Structures are given as structure tokens and as C-alpha cells.
Structure 1
Amino acid sequence: MLKLMKYELRKQAFSKLIIIIIAALGEAVFFSGLLLDKHDTMGLAIGLLTIFTMGAMFFIAFESIITYYNDLKQKQSYMLFLTPHTPYTIVGAKVLSSGIQIILSGLVFGLIFAVDGAALLAKYSSINEIKDFLHELLSVQFHIDVDGKLLVLAVLALLISWISTITLAYLSITLSTTFLANKRGKALISFIIFLILEYIFSKISDIVTSMPAIPQGPDFTIIISIVLYTVLTAITYLATAWMLDKKVSV
């Protein structure tokens, strides 16, 4: 599986290099504004980096989905599924490589914003006062104690939910190329199935997290969400590999 994962990572390496270069340029602009005490430059850099982070995370997930789609559509890539490797190994390598890319990207962007925030707090003491005020406001008015643990859990839940979305897309694409292969409008049907499954899962998540037996609180809610997203990822991975095993592998 490690060789397959390396193969998947190499296929998408160039786009990650571009993302790193753009993020580095954004950081250069931010720190130039910080050193020259230009608030507009710093604000612009942070704003653009925030937008770029969201766009980059979306692109990483989208690229993983498109790569999988092309592997099933293009003859040269399709041959990968006719190798001695089982579909469970091949799809597992794709899921793991996608997960690694998303988690590492999330960690890198998180580190970037942490460094930027620390630099701002070190230079401008007034920001520290604003931070303390917001922390107290959230604690008193909304009973939310924002600490490092909660932020880490929230980011982890977001990243795992993104991975589950990718595996759900894998499932929909596989469905359109296997059991729906001879159906008219199979792409549209699989996309509708994807949306329906996303909606159903979001409702299940809401029901589970609001059950009286479940401990209440932001941290418990996030932990339960992480577990649910992990289960969804496992189910969609197994279903995808099973369909490929039945319809594609030899």
C-alpha cells in the first residue's frame, strides 16, 4: 500500500508546491507589513491568506476526487484497478493519501495563522486586551470556554468531515461507473445520490448529538461528530472497494 500511496502523492505533488509558494508569498507580505507597521498591508495579507486557505483546502479535496474520477475513466489509469492489488488496497491508498494531504495542509495553515497571531500579539499589546475581552464575552454570554483543546478538536472535526466528503464522492463516482454504467444520466443520478447521502448523514449527526443521553457541551459534541465522520468514512470506503471488487477487478 505504501507504494500506491507514494504514487498517489506524486500525481498531486505539483499543485501542493504551488500552494506552498503562494502561502509563502502571503506570509512575506504579512511580515513586511508587520515590520514596516503598515496595518493595511497586514490586514490585506491576513484576509487574502484566509480566503486562500479555504480555497486551497477545497482544491485539495476536489483534486483528489477528480484524480479518482480520471482513474476510472481513462484507460491508462483504469489499468491500476486490474493489477494484482485488491480494490480495498487501492481505494485505501487513495483515501489515506487524501487524508494525509488534508491533515498536513490543515496543520500547515493552522501553524501559519498561529505564527501570525503570535507575532501580532507580541507587537501590539492592545490585541491582547481584545482577545481577553472576546474570551470573557464567549464565556459569560454563551458559556463557551474557548481553549486550545477545543480549537484542536474543532479543526480535527473539520478535517475529518472533509475526508468523509471525499470518500462519499468516491462512492458516488464508483456507483456511476459500476452499477449505473449502462444507465442514462448516470452522472446526474450519482450526484443526486451524493447530495441525498450528505443530507441524511447531517440529519443523523444532528439527531445523535442532540440526544438526551449524550453529554452536552461543545467538546462532547465535537468528539461525537469526529466519531460519526470516521464511521462514515469507513463505511463509504468499504462500499466503494466492494463495488470495484464486484464490477472492475479481475
Structure 2
Amino acid sequence: MFNLLKYEFIKKYKLISITLISALVLNLYLLTRGIAGSSSFLLLFPLVLSVLYVSDVIRTYSDDLNKKSGYMLFMTPNSGYKIIMSKLAAAVIEGIGMLFIYFLFILINGAFIIYQTRRYVDINEVMNDINTLLSGNIGINLGHVFVFLFAVLVFVIGFIVTVYTAMTIRKSIFSEIKFGGFLSFIIFIGLNWALTYVSGEFYSIVSPEYNSFVNVTTVSASELLVIMFPVIAVSIIQSIILTLCSGYLLEKKINL
């Protein structure tokens, strides 16, 4: 499986390098625009990066299913479970890497904003200063940001796995059916509806606790994690189940 992971990142390293260099150059440019430029980068960067991330992860799997490179991959002595799990592991590692990089950008831009407002920065107190800045402006701290971004990553990976499953169904069960692509799209919609429904049921069960934390300024980062845990757990369980289903289809039903 390690070799499969290495293969995934070998295919991605150019895109990852270009993205990181472009982000760094853009951030340096926006720093010259003052606090407004730095704040704009912190708001827009995760949105743009998320779109690129999801698009790249889905496109890579689609290419493996539909192009000659995929034929060579599936002809290797690896089970379908290993292949799909390596792709999911690569997506998780890439996503965690994105969170780490964004955290570094928060530190850099936070230090810059603090310097612009105070004209000095104590390197040893940067994180405390950023927490103070966030608490004073919008009532949160870095812990809240991390929990929120972690939850978003879990939900995005859940969405990606759902797409993987729909694509795998199209290439296996519906490979010989005229409207297989349309049917797999219907299944994709159905899966998302079902998962949304289950998450909603979990939400309704714990809604009294949610309602007791209407004001986010009264919620600590650990409390926020506890509040979001049910829907995060549903998304993780969903990802595991759908990954196993995709692995089975790749192992037994794939039609290249």
C-alpha cells in the first residue's frame, strides 16, 4: 500500500508545488496591500484551495478508471480494497497537509496584522496575540478555527468518497448499460440525500445541546468539538462503509 501511496503523490507533486508557490507569491503580494489584502487572502485561500483539492482528487480517480494509466494500475497485484484505500489515505494526507499549510498562513498573516496595528510583534506570543485578536473581533480563537476546518475536511472527504462510489458503480455494475452514467448520478444524489437525512436525525437527537450554545462566544473549542461530534462521526462511518463498497466493486466487478 505504501507503493500505491507513493504513486499517488508522484502524480501530484507538480500540481502541489505549483499551487504552494502560487499561494506564497499571492500572499506576499497581498501583504503589500496592508491588512485588507492579508485578510482577503485568509478568507479566499481556503475556498480556492478546497475547490482545487476536490477537483484534483476526483479527476485523478476518474482518470484511473477511464484512461490507460488506470488499466496499468488495476493490473498490478493489488486488491481493489488496497487501491481505493490508498486513494482515500492520499486524500486524507493531502487534506491534513492543506490544514497545516493554512495554519502556517494564519500565523504569518496574523503576525503581519498584529504588526500593522501595534508596530511590534513578539514571536513567542504570536499565537496568544492571534487568539486575542480573533476573540476581540469575532469571538473565537485558533481552537475554534481548527475544529471548524477539521470538520469541513471530514465532510469534504465524505463527499469525495460518495463521488468515488458513484464512479465505481458506473464503471462496474452499470458499465454495460446505456444510461449507466445517468443511473450512477441518480445513485450519487440518493446517497447524499440519505446521508444528509441521517445527519439531520443525529442533529435532532442532540438539538437541545446545540440550542444551549446559540452564542458561539460562550463555546470553547473542546465544547464545539463535542457538539459537532455526532455529524462528524456519521461522515466518518459513511466514508468507511462506502470505501469498503467501492473496494468490493473494484475487486469483483470492475470492467476496464
Bin for the TM-score computed over the shorter chain: 0.7 to 0.9
1:4-19 aligned at under 5 Å gives the runs 4-19=4-19
Q: Deviations over 1:111-149 (max 9, x none)?
A: 202321232123315x967852532xxxxxxxxxx3443
Residues 74-108 of structure 1: CA distance to partner in whole angstroms, max 9, x if unpaired? 13322311221111111111110111111111220
Q: Which residue does the alignment assign to 2:221?
A: none
Match of 1:188 among 179, 182, 190: 182
Query: When the two structures are aligned, how many residues end up with a matched partner?
Result: 232
Is residue 2:102 matched to residue 1:109? yes
Alignment RMSD (CA, Å): 2.5
CA distance in 1, matches of 2:241, 2:193: 16
From the superposition, tell whether residues 97 and 133 of structure 1 become closer, same or farther in structure 2 (CA, over 3 Å). Answer: closer
Paired with 2:206 and 2:157, the residues of 1 have a C-alpha distance of 28
Calculate the TM-score normalised by the size of structure 1.
0.83
Q: What CA distance in whole angstroms lies between the structure 1 residues aligned with 2:66 and 2:151?
A: 32
Q: Distance in 1 between matches of 2:234 and 2:94?
A: 21
State the SS of the aligned residue for 2:205: coil
Given candidates 60, 75, 79, the residue that maps to 2:68 is 75
**Is 1:134 the equivalent of 2:127?**
no
Task: Give distance in 1, aligned partners of 2:111 and 2:183.
Answer: 48
Gap change, CA 1:67 and 1:93, over 3 Å in 2: same
TM-score, with structure 2 as normaliser: 0.81
Distance 1:14 1:122, change over 3 A: same
CA distance 1:199–1:114, change in 2 (3 Å): farther
The answer to whether the 8 A contact 1:5-1:93 is kept is yes
Counterpart Cα distance in 2 of 1:213 and 1:59: 34
In 2, the alpha carbon distance for the partners of 1:134 and 1:213 equals 24
Structure 2 unmatched ranges of 5 or more: 119-129, 214-223
In structure 2, what is the Cα distance between the partners aligned to 1:182 and 1:45? 52
After the TM superposition, which segments of 4 or more aligned residues of structure 1 sit over 4 Å from their partners?
127-131, 212-215
Identical-pair percentage: 23
Which runs of 5 or more residues in structure 1 are unaligned? 136-145
Instruction: State the AA in 1 paired with 2:161.
Output: T
